[in-house]
Chain A
Amino acid sequence: MTQDNEVATLDTEGLSIKSVSLWRITWKRLFRRRSAVMGMIILGILVFIALTAQWLAPYDPLQVLIGVEPVKQRQAPCIHLLGCSEDQPQHIAGIDGNVRDEFSRLLYGTRVSLWIGLSTVTFAIIIGTILGALGGYFGGWVDNLIMRVMDVLLAFPSLLLAIAIVTVLGPGLTNALLAIGIVSIPSYARVVRASVLSVREMDYVSATRALGGSNFDILFRRIIPNAMTPLIVQGTLGIATAILDAAALSFLGLGAQPPMPEWGSMLGSERNQVFTAPHLVFLPGFAIMVTVLSFNLLGDGLRDALDPRLAHSA
């Protein structure tokens, strides 16, 4: 895998005379990292599952199978290939506590988790970028006020703060997403603020100002694009944390509510059955772990690939 890529990159390198863009270099270096490639493969599979869940899933994730099939509550997995008798209906991940097909629920759960990760981080990045950029660019009391508020948010352990916010807003997936989004704003605000501070006094920013560019122009055309690199890394790793936190909230019954096929809530509702029906605890948790792992691997890979200190080692 890695070797093929190596050959491919060498080839293009030999032929190309034109300048190589930063994105091109980044891609090339990303593909050289085993862990990043692993992360991308897993993530690709997950995205595929999420997009095609309605065709892949053998059952409707919400369908209660009482009276439809001869299955029992919390029945262990039955896989025909592994010797489960053919006259039994096949349920490769077993049956859950409400007599639904666990495998279909797991597949649909991919959608929910990816949506959770993307939506919370997008929300946090947008708000965090605006706050960080304003603080870093204008400085003074604006900066002080924003950063002190961020400090207060950071002063609570993130999961506890999210729990507290959900308590005030009321349990539910939307409120849980909002809570996790709010909790993760400070890290993005800090990243953007630091980048803004480091490029604010650069010559090209002064040049834009001399050419009559407005504050808006300077901020969004000159400064923020320069903060993208750390934001992408932070965002990818942030998705991993967001998925974990959302799963924890749902596990505690504060996030996604049954019957929604969300992994954390599926696990939470069966947690007292761990000794009698371990598959109902193991599988959703494993799915969470794999998803979080893919984002962590990709994020680490991106960090290395985008690190300018390593720019010429590729």
Chain B
Amino acid sequence: MFQYILRRIITSIPVLFGILLVTFSMARVIPGDPCRAILGEKATDAVCERFIREKGLDQPILTQFGIYLKEIGSGEFGQSFRFGMPVTRLLAERLPTTVELSFAALIIAVIVGIPLGIISAVKHNSWVDVATMVWANIGVSMPVFWLGLMLAYIFSLLLKDTPFWLPPSGRISPGIPSPTLTEVWGWNFAKGSFLAGLFDFIGRMNILNALLTGNWTLLKDALQHMILPAAALGTIPMALIARMARSSMLDVLGQDYIRTARAKGLSYRTVVLKHAFRNSLLPLVTVIGLSLGSLLGGAVLTETIFGLSGVGRTLYEAITARDYGIVQAFTVVIAVFFVLLNLIVDISYAYLDPRIRLN
């Protein structure tokens, strides 16, 4: 197992290197002057000259790449000209929203998708099965942005003045207090220390914050705001998971050992839940892991529609505003996260199926 993990980590090094190469060249092939692309149109010649010297943009390209690697290694992504703050701090502010949204979407996808898939496999060809598969086919075909807008239209406008009303945008309603974790618990960390940053990061995830501090008004409000974006973002993974759960369950249910288990007198329920379900989990791990990655792409659209300032929306706005400091940093972080995710999926796959790691 250890050997497998090691091998898998080593093979992802060239990929990481490639990602850095891509993001490095991205900022250098953009048409126009790199200084004004990064600092903004208003930068004066004197400022630009200094910037080019400081960033080493007058050095040979290989040296530049070296400087870039060093910067990333030290977590120093430079400044955002639009926000006038270090990109790293901006990332720490925006990432919690996206993490919360992605996990909420994934949770919805898993707790709806897996049972649906299993039920349609067990009741193969019944109306439940047909309905689930029709729904799953439609689900993977829906544009995320359209679904989001339609959900907002239904739940925020048509169902206005009913108990089902949900807010169309934002993370919490104005006026709802959301004290940080350290405030509530009365802990004091030195400003700028790692722990202060960590608790600040956790505290920015409203739902988690509300749960940890027992702030029920905040919890209700944050959940209400989260339902629509998470449902919109989670629909495609939900459909994929339901389909995969069904086909892999059908596969397993046709195996000899299932018949054996039934033959030795175990109840159908036990066989399905204990024998079949566990063995059908394997392909599901891949789908779930890879969905989490694609959620990041969908997050750009969902966050834009629902007015959430997360990583996706910030990245998109940075791209349209040509704020390359942000674009470079956020792309690197997302891609590296994606690679790590693939690594985790592969490793858990190997853990669940010994045949893979021995091969």
Contact = CB atoms under 8 A, between A and B. Distances in A.
Contacts of A290: 141
B38 to A, nearest CB: 14
A188 interface: no
Contacts of A281: 146, 149-150, 153
Interface stretch (B13-21, B61-69, B78-86, B347-355): B13-21
B230 interface: no
Contacts of B15: 148, 151-152, 155
Nearest to B18: A152
A152 B22 contact: yes
B18 A159 contact: no
A134 to B, nearest CB: 19
A278 B22 CA distance: 41
Interface string A285-314: 110111011001100100000000000000
B296 A149 contact: no
B229 interface: no
A163 B296 contact: no
B138 to A, nearest CB: 6
Contacts of B335: 155-156
Interface stretch (A77-85, A224-232, A245-253): A245-253
A119 interface: no
A4 to B, nearest CB: 21
B152 A160 contact: no
Interface stretch (B87-95, B105-113, B314-322): B314-322
A160 B152 CA distance: 24
Contacts of A55: none
A159 B297 contact: yes
A296 B296 contact: no
A278 B153 contact: yes
B30 A248 contact: no
Interface residues of B, number: 48
B143 A289 contact: yes
Given A275-B157, A297-B137, A151 B14 contact: yes
A285 B150 contact: yes
Interface stretch (B204-212, B259-267, B298-306): B298-306
Nearest to A282: B150
B334 interface: yes
Interface in A127-171: 148-149, 151-152, 155-160, 163-164, 167-168, 170
Contact of B294 (A157, A167, A300): A157
Contact of B331 (A156, A248, A252): A156
B144 interface: yes
Interface string B11-51: 00011001101100010011100000000000000000000
A264 interface: yes
Interface string B316-337: 1001101000010001001100
Given A155-B335, A156-B338, A274-B149, A296 B327 contact: no
Interface string B194-216: 00000000000000000000000
Given A281-B149, A289-B146, A164 B331 contact: yes
B334 A157 contact: yes
16 contacts: A152-B15, A155-B19, A156-B335, A157-B293, A159-B301, A163-B315, A163-B319, A167-B30, A168-B29, A168-B30, A248-B145, A267-B143, A285-B146, A289-B141, A292-B143, A293-B141
Interface of A: 35, 148-149, 151-152, 155-160, 163-164, 167-168, 170, 240, 244, 247-248, 251-253, 264, 267-268, 271, 274-275, 278, 281-282, 284-286, 288-290, 292-293, 296-297, 300
Given A248-B143, A248-B145, 19 more contacts: A148-B15, A152-B18, A152-B19, A156-B19, A157-B297, A159-B294, A160-B296, A160-B297, A160-B334, A163-B300, A167-B26, A167-B30, A248-B144, A251-B143, A271-B305, A285-B143, A292-B143, A293-B141, A297-B137
